[in-house]
Amino acid sequence: MVSTENPFKINVPDEKLELLKKKLELTTFSDELEGAGREYGVPLTDIRRLTARWRDGYEWRKHEALLNAELPQFTRDIEVDGFGTLNVHYVHKKSEVVDAIPLLFVHGWPGSFIEVRHILPLLTEASSDHPSFHVVALGLPGFGFSEAPTKKGFEIRQYAELANKLMLSLGYNEYVTQGGDWGYAITKLMAVNYGQKHSKAWHTNYPIATAPTLKDRPLAYLINLVSKLTPEEKAGLERTAWFFGLGHGYSAEQSTQPQTLGYALTDSPVGLLAWIYEKLVNWTDNYPWDDDEVLTWISIYWFSRAGPAASLRIYFEANKAKPNMFLTPLPSKIPAGHSYFPKEIFKFPKRWSNTPNLVFESDHDSGGHFAAHEKPGELVGDLRKMFGKGGPAFGVVPGKTGYA
Amino acid sequence: MTTAEIPFKIDIPDSKLSLLKQKLALTTFPDELEDAGREYGAPLADIQRLVARWRDGYDWRKHEAELNAELPQFMKDIEVEGFGTLAIHYVHKKSEVEDAIPLLFVHGWPGNFLEVRKILPLLTAASPDHPSFHVVAISMPGYGFSDGPTKKGFRFPQYAEVANKLMLALGYDQYVTQGGDLGFFVTRKIANMYGGKHSKAWHTNFPRLPNSSPPKLFSRPLAYLTHILTPYTEAEKAGLARTDWFEKLGRGYFMEQSTQPQTLGYGLTDSPAGLLAWIYEKLVNWSDDYLWDDDEVLTWVSTYWFSRAGPAASLRIYYEMVQGNERGHEDTSIPLGFSYFPKELFNVPKRWHKASNLVFESEHTAGGHFAAHEKPELLVNDLRAMFGKGGPAFGIVPGKAGYR
């Protein structure tokens, strides 16, 4: 089952760098309304500044080298039923601790494998005080340096199948998962389709819930009726209302006409920059993005193997296969864990949660959607509590408790 | 009140033409799924073909000259309360018939003044058998060669104010209007603000009324009973299916444009291929199997690319209208006419439309959203029937019945 790994180093061809530079030099900027701020979208000053930096000053090769140094990367052919073989890019780092817990980390959009960067050393680090993990960070098909599917219909079920097969191919017959955004949806389905046999527990920083109804959850409904919202809960619901009211346009287009959108994102670096940067700012909790940090994140999309348009299709396929799948609880039997960050884009009163077997919950007073990137210490702290000695999911992977 | 007209000829600077060519030469295309068809958005083969044509073969100067020859264009400064002065571009053609009916034509998105091109000669033509019109086709602020507003909050009252002031400045103290898409909302606003005094009747090919949804038992019991007892015709079923398609799969652009237009605007301003795809998808999906000629598409898209305010400016009306909560019903009392085209995006059974001022209805078996462009004769025949001798709005503009 276990075959050798094929090491991979990011090495974007020179002509791609030159083309990017040529395009950046020809950038035509739009105007902006007076006093627009962030109200109409990404501010022009930010885009001008980032474009200028990307054009002159930002050194892709330096950041490419840093990524290659920090993140041990590999590629592997994985066969997906009905879709042939996809060459998948992933990060894989084993802890020194032999019996570390195998953990699959699954990113979302507009994320990528880069989101494992801050948590990787913390997860693998050995200590008698907390568990260690062997970490696999999957590059989703169509993202980063993974191949994209060429046929229609590659939806969450296929992503889950591929992710499970990757873990098995690496010798991790049993593992736990961590995911947010699409990573939430994929690991949720893995919990159902491969739960107990392979996936032993799942943790998310993107817990979804819906208001209980009298019909489906009468007790929760009644409790909800009489409970007053705390200020945090109110703020959370306002955040969710903001997201659905003002922050959902990208999803509506990506779920319905991804190809149409894809032309601009593929042809215009500044168009791609704006499309993603808006989320990096709006979805985080005042995270102090460094310009080069932003540009590295976006360059991964620009230089991605399948191009940025491919990354949009997950929205279309998931929406077509099962509209509202994010909102649908699934009958998983394995332990689940939630981390709640206040600036996540979906935020609901915890008592609405209907995740089966929820054994771990942790609240934070800062942090947003990109938890692994913004709050690596807090996220890893939660995983250590959930899976460590005395934790509710301790020893969930037999023989791999995470300690020496 | 009447001010002198300043003739205008489109004359795009050479530098803009060469920048477009440079960008087109550098176009990077996305991939596409096998057998995607139109399901995921504008097909790759179409966009590649159109980009290749735009780059080599399409002759902007030739089309520019044709537009200048066919469409008498002018510029006029219009002052808008709270927004300063905007330079407004418009087409103005008088009929030989001195007492022709003054008609203001208002385009929508992704339309513009070009949409008057085919109906202009028909509307102004003189004949004892039908009325004639003096036609003004305004380029709305942010479109064509009109200035865009520079401040936030430029909403339907402002668009209506500009249009009304333009008509008054041209000596048309009383006039009728024709509009679809955003032109529907603007002309409805004109009817609401200036109806009776200046606007004397309004006609639209984008029929919507507050009751343009299934009648409810308690509010309209008789209509409700008719609704549940009368089977839908094939045409009505098709119309409802069309409406459903638009609601579920066709509104992504609307969601983004009405929430984060600035973010979207960067890509559309910087990438001709991106702008082309964004608009072309609508030209195809919204029309009724209209046989677009490649150069016809490219001329349409070029007017966005070369627009005075840039393509990003054209998106902001969506933001202002939705965030300003302006789409809801508004009462109008002046005579109203509807033309129904089967492939319009919002197509509900005619019997759901009820308004005391709805004096004219005409149903067609072919045609879509861009009625003036796709079915110029049908649209003009409807206007002739509504405003001509024996028609329900005959003589609505005193002294300008449209005949010699």
CATH number, domain at A194?
Answer: 3.40.50.1820
User: Is pLDDT above 80 for A309?
Assistant: yes
User: Do the Cβ atoms of A267 and B274 come within 8 Å?
Assistant: yes
Interface of B with A in 196-215 (CB under 8 A): none
Could you list the residue range(s) of the whole structural domain that residue A382 is in? 1-23+40-403
Task: Assess if residue B347 is contained within a domain.
Answer: yes
Instruction: Give the mean model confidence (pLDDT) for residues A290-318.
Output: 98
Count of CB atoms within 10 A of residue A315's CB?
21
User: Do the Cβ atoms of A259 and B259 come within 8 Å?
Assistant: no
Please give the structure tokens belonging to residue A398: 């037999």
Instruction: Give the mean model confidence (pLDDT) for residues B95-102.
Output: 98
Of B333 and A325, the structure prediction assigns the larger pLDDT to B333
Q: How far is CA A368 from CA A283, A312, A348, A379, in A?
A: 6, 22, 14, 11
Task: Assess if residue A173 is contained within a domain.
Answer: yes
Q: Please indicate if any CB of chain A lies within 8 Å of the CB of B394.
A: no
- How open is the CA angle B97-B99-B105, to the nearest 5 degrees? 85
Among the listed ranges A237-246, B96-105, B164-173, which one has the minimum average pLDDT value? A237-246
Of A213 and A2, the structure prediction assigns the larger pLDDT to A213
What confidence tier does B222 reach under pLDDT thresholds 50, 70, 90?
confident
What pLDDT score does A93 carry? 98
Nearest-angstrom CA–CA distance, B404 and B399: 11
Average pLDDT, chain B: 95
Which spans in B127-197 are helix H?
A: 156-169, 182-194
What pLDDT score does B327 carry? 83
Number of domains, chain A: 1
Return the amino acid letter for A270: V
User: Is pLDDT above 60 for A1?
Assistant: no
Q: What is the pTM of this model?
A: 0.96
Instruction: Give the mean model confidence (pLDDT) for residues A180-187.
Output: 97
Which spans in A98-230 are helix H?
A: 120-124, 156-169, 182-193, 218-226
Task: Assess if residue A34 is contained within a domain.
Answer: no
What residues does B358 pair with on adjacent strands?
B336
Nearest-angstrom CA–CA distance, B45 and B279: 16
User: Is pLDDT above 90 for A399?
Assistant: yes
Task: Assess if residue B14 is contained within a domain.
Answer: no
The residues near A315 (Cβ < 8 Å, ≥ 6 apart) are A109, A251, A254, A255, A258
Count of CB atoms within 10 A of residue B307's CB?
21
- Select the residue of B35, B274, B316 nearest A268 (Cβ to Cβ): B274
Among the listed ranges A178-192, A323-337, B281-295, which one has the minimum average pLDDT value? A323-337
Task: Assess if residue A71 is contained within a domain.
Answer: yes
What pLDDT score does B211 carry? 60
Residues in chain A, how many?
404
User: Is pLDDT above 80 for A147?
Assistant: yes
User: Is pLDDT above 90 for B213?
Assistant: no
Look at residues A295, A299, A268, A264 and name the one whose alpha carbon lies nearest to residue A22: A268
Task: Assess if residue A352 is contained within a domain.
Answer: yes
Could you give the 3-state DSSP secondary structure of residue A91?
strand
Are β-strands B73-80 and B84-93 bridged in parallel, bridged antiparallel, or unpaired?
antiparallel
- Select the residue of B150, B254, B319 nearest A34 (Cβ to Cβ): B150
Instruction: Give the mean model confidence (pLDDT) for residues B91-98.
Output: 98
User: Do the Cβ atoms of B41 and A27 come within 8 Å?
Assistant: no
- Select the residue of A245, A247, A268 nearest B270 (Cβ to Cβ): A268
User: Is pLDDT above 90 for A276?
Assistant: yes
Task: Assess if residue B46 is contained within a domain.
Answer: no
User: Is pLDDT above 90 for B174?
Assistant: yes
Task: Assess if residue B404 is contained within a domain.
Answer: no
Residues in chain B, how many?
404
User: Is pLDDT above 90 for A293?
Assistant: yes
Catalytic-labelled residue, pool B89, B203, B353, B369: B369
User: Do the Cβ atoms of B274 and A263 come within 8 Å?
Assistant: yes
Task: Assess if residue B59 is contained within a domain.
Answer: no
Task: Assess if residue A30 is contained within a domain.
Answer: no
Instruction: Give the mean model confidence (pLDDT) for residues A82-107.
Output: 98
Check if the beta carbon of residue A59 is closer than 8 Å to that of residue A47: no
- Select the residue of B34, B148, B274 nearest A271 (Cβ to Cβ): B274
Catalytic-labelled residue, pool B175, B280, B318, B403: B318
Among the listed ranges A165-169, A225-229, A323-327, A392-396, which one has the minimum average pLDDT value? A323-327
What pLDDT score does B328 carry? 85
Could you list the residue range(s) of the whole structural domain that residue B352 is in? 65-387
DSSP state of B250: S
Place of tokens 């699959």: A104
Are β-strands A133-138 and A84-93 bridged in parallel, bridged antiparallel, or unpaired?
antiparallel
What confidence tier does A3 reach under pLDDT thresholds 50, 70, 90?
low
Count of CB atoms within 10 A of residue B89's CB?
25
Interface of B with A in 264-303 (CB under 8 A): 264-271, 273-278, 281
Please give the structure tokens belonging to residue A290: 């460094």
Task: Assess if residue A29 is contained within a domain.
Answer: no
pLDDT in tens, B9-30: 999 999 999 999 999 999 999 9
pLDDT in tens, A333-356: 999 999 999 999 999 999 898 899
User: Which residue out of B270, B275, B305, B321 would a mutagenesis test of the A interface target, given it has the greatest number of A Cβ atoms within 10 Å?
Assistant: B270
Number of domains, chain B: 1
What confidence tier does A361 reach under pLDDT thresholds 50, 70, 90?
very high
What pLDDT score does B1 carry? 52
Return the amino acid letter for A85: T
Task: Assess if residue A315 is contained within a domain.
Answer: yes
pLDDT in tens, B286-311: 999 999 999 999 999 999 999 999 99
pLDDT in tens, B337-385: 999 999 999 998 888 878 899 999 999 999 999 999 999 999 999 999 9
What CATH number does residue B86 fall under?
Answer: 3.40.50.1820
What pLDDT score does A96 carry? 98
pLDDT in tens, A44-64: 999 999 999 999 999 999 999
